[in-house]
Every structure is written in C-alpha cells, then in structure tokens.
Homo-oligomer: A and B are copies of this chain.
C-alpha cells in the first residue's frame, strides 16, 4: 500500500489524535461485548454484538495479532485473550498499531482505564492529554457540593482549572452534543442567568456524587470560557459530533447545527475539530472546506462500519481539503479498537488514494503527500505538540511501524 508510505518507502506512523484509555483488567465475553456496541447493553436475547460489522472486522484483523485465525469464533477470541492476559493483549495490539503520537482524552470513566502515561507505555509512543471540558466542570461541582462550599466559586474555579489544564493539555474536548445538542444558543448568557442556573443545579445536593452539567446556560458559559482559554493558549477544541451512545439525540449532533459556534471560534482564532461525525461526515467535510478553522475526522465509524468503512472514508474525502481531515480511532476500553482503527484507516485510505492514482485523478507524489497530511502532518500542524506535556514511554524503544504496513 504505497500511499501510506513515505517517498522513501516506509509506512507513515499515525497520530491518533483522539483516543481513550484501555481497560487493563481481563474481560469476559459479556464485558467485552459491551465495549463493541454503542448500546451500553447486552445484545437482544439470542443475538450477539459480534454479529455486527465491527465484530467481523475485529475478528479478522485482531485475531491474527493474538495468534488466531482471522475467522476464529468470538468464543475462541475471548478465550485466547484470557490466556494472554489483558496486559499482554494491550501491549501487543497498541504497539502494533504503528502510532507515532496518541492524544488521550481523559474525561470518560477515567478510573476504569489507563492514563496517558500508561497508554504511552502500552503503545510505545508519546502520549498527550486532551481535557474534557464538561468533566472539569462536573468534577469541580462535586468538590464544591462535597464540602458544602459556596456555589458562586464554581465559575471562577472552572476558569482556573481550564487555565491550568491548558498549560499541559494538547487540546480541549467538548461533549455538548450529549449534554444539550448543537442547537445551544450562542449568545453568551447574562451573569444572572448563569448564577441562577448554578444555584438550581448545586444547592442542597450535598453528598450526591453524580452531577451532570445539563443546564444550557451553564454549558454555554463554560464553552465560552473554554474557547477564550483555548484562544489564549493556542489549543484546538475537539467536538463530539454524530453517532454515539443512547445519551444523544442524533439529529442534534449534526455538526452544521453548531455553525454559529464555529463562527465564534473563528473570530477567536480557535480551531474546531469535529470527531466521528457519522452519518453527518459530508456535512463535516463541507464545514472543513468552508471554514478555515474547521477540521474533522471520522473516528470510530471506521471500526463500527467494518467491511463498509471505505465508503464512509471516501465520502469524508469528497469535498474536504486534504489538509483538514485527521486520523483518530476514538478507541475506548479495548486496545482492539485502537489497533483496528489504524488498520481500517490505513487500508481504506490507501485504497482510495491508489484508485485516484490508478484512474489518473492525481499523481503518486500527491497521493503520498495527502496520506502523510491526513495520517500525521495535519495533526502535528494543528496541535501544540511542541509545547504541551508529552508522556514518553519509559524504558522501551518506540514501537515504530510494523513491517506488515
């Protein structure tokens, strides 16, 4: 697959600009299946989450890394995983993904998964942190409620925490699509409305440990704060878009609905990076073409679409400049998803660009250049990798890119 190789022939190492930690404990089949579906539930009686496109792709590509046949059954796969143990599996799969850099988002089920330094060690590649804005805001709310503190301190506290995070993080991430939807009014809410919503949220909730940031005025205020801080520190803001779990109304996660916020970010000079986007990846491509500050990826749909991932990636490349698409696996929990994401991205990008070359749409030099842009250089140009805190794998040579690429 020459188009994911450099002019000198070696495969391009990827920047996975949005990944979560992997579970470090062993997993039985039921627990494993929960991590290959957005449903958050077991498959209906008599069925299995393996009987989905992601199940096919996972068996095909991850099985051989663990020494199995590509057609091994789900049970055989889980058994083999158990024999090797989670740590060996995670090291095998993550270090086989051919990653150069990992940007690890740390705001989702943080205590259950590996941290950025741990991810660096497993993948034998440098890791950076992406800070989830809502997690910062909710963590502080819990702290205030726990100690019965003054809720009025929340706003300034969030600002201070985000400022602090901006000194080490490589970017921010927002899940506003989950917490309200992109139809969030962009006008900055008046201070009185913010403090009113804050009181309604936090007053009298001492001892509660689940506090969700859901009031629109609070989300908007925090988002405005984060954009200003991102502007001051040169950080891009990642934005979950498109499909996800059942906590989301899909049509309200269409990135074009976020256009008014894109314009605000543009006025501040802040890049906005839409993540995943399916089935609105064409819309994301349009935004990337029309707005200088918009970037995007198709993230985990390359895993979830399994055999059909190539069509989705091809559509993402219909209108978007080659300078605006990035790579991410959006893997959460399973190192399989980090490895599979890299496999799917490499082989389908190569197929698309090779077809361009074969049908005369462009020369091989251009195709190879686009592969490097999308796989690595766009992310390196966009994110402050020279300033942000870099977690290096300790006591091990970088993984490099396996020969198989």
Q: How far is the CA of A59 from the CA of B322 in the complex (A)?
A: 15
CB proximity to B under 8 Å, residues A240-287: 243, 245-246, 249-251, 254, 256-257, 259-260, 263, 278-279, 282-283, 286-287
Contact with B along A340-380 (1 / 0, CB 8 A): 00000000000000011001111100100010010000000
Q: Given the known A-B contacts A39-B290, A289-B38, A323-B47, are A53 and B306 also in contact in the complex, defined by CB atoms under 8 Å?
A: no
Asked whether, in the complex, the Cβ of A323 is within 8 Å of the Cβ of B257, the reply is no
A361 neighbours in B (Cβ, 8 Å): 56-57, 60, 306-307
A250 neighbours in B (Cβ, 8 Å): 256, 259, 283, 286-287
A263 neighbours in B (Cβ, 8 Å): 246
Q: How far is the CA of A6 from the CA of B43 in the complex (A)?
A: 24
A311 neighbours in B (Cβ, 8 Å): 314-315, 318
Asked whether, in the complex, the Cβ of A323 is within 8 Å of the Cβ of B362, the reply is no
Closest residue on chain B to residue A250 by CB atoms? B256
Q: How far is the CA of A19 from the CA of B53 in the complex (A)?
A: 28
Q: Which of A282, A283, A373 has the most CB of B within 10 A?
A: A282
Q: Which of B44, B257, B289, B356 contacts A307 (CB 8 A)?
A: B356
Interface residue A301 (Cβ < 8 Å from any Cβ of B):
yes
Asked whether, in the complex, the Cβ of B278 is within 8 Å of the Cβ of A319, the reply is yes
Number of interface residues of A (CB under 8 A): 70
A291 neighbours in B (Cβ, 8 Å): 39, 246
Closest residue on chain B to residue A301 by CB atoms? B319
Asked whether, in the complex, the Cβ of B290 is within 8 Å of the Cβ of A370, the reply is no
Closest residue on chain B to residue A355 by CB atoms? B307
CB A400 to nearest CB in B, in angstroms, measures 26
CB A321 to nearest CB in B, in angstroms, measures 4
Asked whether, in the complex, the Cβ of B254 is within 8 Å of the Cβ of A51, the reply is no
Q: Given the known A-B contacts A321-B47, A321-B49, are A257 and B246 also in contact in the complex, defined by CB atoms under 8 Å?
A: no
Q: How far is the CA of A355 from the CA of B56 in the complex (A)?
A: 14
Contact with B along A43-64 (1 / 0, CB 8 A): 1101111011100110010000
Asked whether, in the complex, the Cβ of A286 is within 8 Å of the Cβ of B279, the reply is yes
CB proximity to B under 8 Å, residues A296-336: 301, 304-308, 311-312, 314-315, 317-323
A290 neighbours in B (Cβ, 8 Å): 37-39, 243, 245-246
Contact with B along A216-260 (1 / 0, CB 8 A): 000000000000000000000000000101100111001011011
Interface residue A387 (Cβ < 8 Å from any Cβ of B):
no
Closest residue on chain B to residue A289 by CB atoms? B38
Asked whether, in the complex, the Cβ of B308 is within 8 Å of the Cβ of A70, the reply is no
Asked whether, in the complex, the Cβ of A51 is within 8 Å of the Cβ of B322, the reply is yes
A306 neighbours in B (Cβ, 8 Å): 361
Closest residue on chain B to residue A256 by CB atoms? B250
Q: How far is the CA of A41 from the CA of B294 in the complex (A)?
A: 13
Interface residue A215 (Cβ < 8 Å from any Cβ of B):
no
A38 neighbours in B (Cβ, 8 Å): 289-290
Q: How far is the CA of A323 from the CA of B312 in the complex (A)?
A: 22
Q: Which of A52, A57, A306, A363 has the most CB of B within 10 A?
A: A52
Closest residue on chain B to residue A263 by CB atoms? B246
Q: How far is the CA of A44 from the CA of B251 in the complex (A)?
A: 30
Interface residue A71 (Cβ < 8 Å from any Cβ of B):
yes
A370 neighbours in B (Cβ, 8 Å): 51
CB A250 to nearest CB in B, in angstroms, measures 4
Pick 14 A–B contacts, CB within 8 A, sort by A: A43-B321, A46-B381, A51-B322, A52-B319, A60-B362, A71-B363, A71-B366, A249-B259, A251-B256, A251-B283, A278-B282, A305-B318, A305-B319, A311-B315
